[in-house]
Structure 1
Amino acid sequence: MSSPCDPQYSPAGDVSAALMLVDSRLKAIYDGRTEVDPEQRRLDEQFTASLGPTGAHDLLDGVCTIIFMYMKWLRTACEGHDKDVIAYIVPNLVTTMRGMPRSIRPQAVPTMAGLVVAAGTGLSPSLWRRQYGDWTKEEMNALEATAFLLAEVINRITDDHDFATRLITNALSSAEAH
């Protein structure tokens, strides 16, 4: 039986723009910058505002698509080592996010855990979230952090700072070729 949250029913969104935001955060961390540069944050906010309501919605769907793709990769990697992706990823993600109270409001953490569980079980994070109403402003940093943290886990597993970004760009290139 098909679920209304099946990824086949989900819009991919603007994956390229979402990847640009995630990749810029990864590069900042790998360059030793632990705090988000206020100028970079301002540029990101300006970019997001320039998208308008439809573009912003596409960006949110794009971030959810990235989360789904990262969890799919992590699920495959975990299964290869007889590990459960949910048990492996979610506790560390929640712990990390709870340790970021200036960036991520505590009430957003359960939603992000739910998104990751949805993606880890093969459901569309975007459609899963939609059933609970519109995104809130408080969830924006948490959503971005979720995609970033999953990318960072993948990069650590592969010992390659660019692997998670390449994973998505290769998938985009492959999709464009078809």
Structure 2
Amino acid sequence: MSSPCDPQYAPAGDVGTALMIIDSQLKAIYDGRTETDPEQRKLVEQFTASMGPEGAHDVLDGTCTLIFMFMKWLRMAYEDHNKDVIEYVVPNLVATMRMMPKSVRPETIPTMAGLLVAAGTGLSPSLWRQQYGDWTKDEMNPLEATAFLLAEHINRLTDDRDFATRLISKALSSSDQD
């Protein structure tokens, strides 16, 4: 039986821009910059503001698509070792988000955990979230943090700082060829 949250019904959004934002954050962390560069953050904010509401919504959908694709890859990787992705990934990411009170407000963590569970069970995170109303401003940083933490988790598992970015880039380029 098909679910209304099935990924086939979800807009992919602007995955390229969402990936660029996550990749730049990963590179900053790997370069030893623990604080977000205010100039870089300002450029990202200017860029997203220049897109208008429709463009920003596309990036939001793109970030949800990243979360879905990262969780799909993680689900397959954990299943190869007879492990459950939800059991191994969700508690780890929730604990990490709880240590990030400046970026992730405590009241947004259940929503981010729900997005991870939805994606981990093969549902579209954006369609799952949509059933509870519009996104709030307070959920934007946690959403970005969730995608970032998943990418970083994949990079640590593979011992390759660029693996998550390459994974999505390859999927995007192969979808362009189809």
Give the TM-score, by structure 2 length.
0.99
Q: Please list every run of 5 or more consecutive structure 2 residues that lacks an aligned counterpart in the other structure.
A: none
Alignment of 1:22-33 (within 5 A): 22-33=22-33
Counterpart in 2 of 1:119?
A: 119
Q: What amino acid sits opposite 1:37 in the alignment?
A: D
**Alpha-carbon separation, structure 2, partners of 1:7 and 1:117:** 14
**Alpha-carbon separation, structure 2, partners of 1:41 and 1:132:** 29
Counterpart in 2 of 1:61?
A: 61
Aligned: 1:109 with 2:109: yes
Return the offset for 1:150: 0.2
**Alpha-carbon separation, structure 2, partners of 1:111 and 1:46:** 27
Q: What amino acid sits opposite 2:158 in the alignment?
A: T
Return the offset for 1:110: 0.6
**Alpha-carbon separation, structure 1, partners of 2:116 and 2:51:** 26
**Alpha-carbon separation, structure 2, partners of 1:128 and 1:102:** 26
Counterpart in 2 of 1:147?
A: 147
Return the offset for 1:69: 0.2
The secondary structure found in structure 1 opposite 2:128 is: helix
Aligned: 1:93 with 2:100: no
The secondary structure found in structure 2 opposite 1:51 is: helix
Would you identify which runs of 4 or more consecutive aligned residues in structure 1 move more than 3 Å?
Answer: none
Pairs aligned (count):
178
Q: Please list every run of 5 or more consecutive structure 1 residues that lacks an aligned counterpart in the other structure.
A: none
**Identity percentage of aligned residues:** 77
**Alpha-carbon separation, structure 2, partners of 1:79 and 1:138:** 33
Instruction: Give a deviation string over 1:73-98, Cα, whole Å, max 9, x none.
Output: 00000001111000000001000001
The secondary structure found in structure 2 opposite 1:152 is: helix
Counterpart in 1 of 2:5?
A: 5
Give the TM-score, by structure 1 length.
0.99
Query: Alpha carbon RMSD of aligned pairs, Å?
Result: 0.5
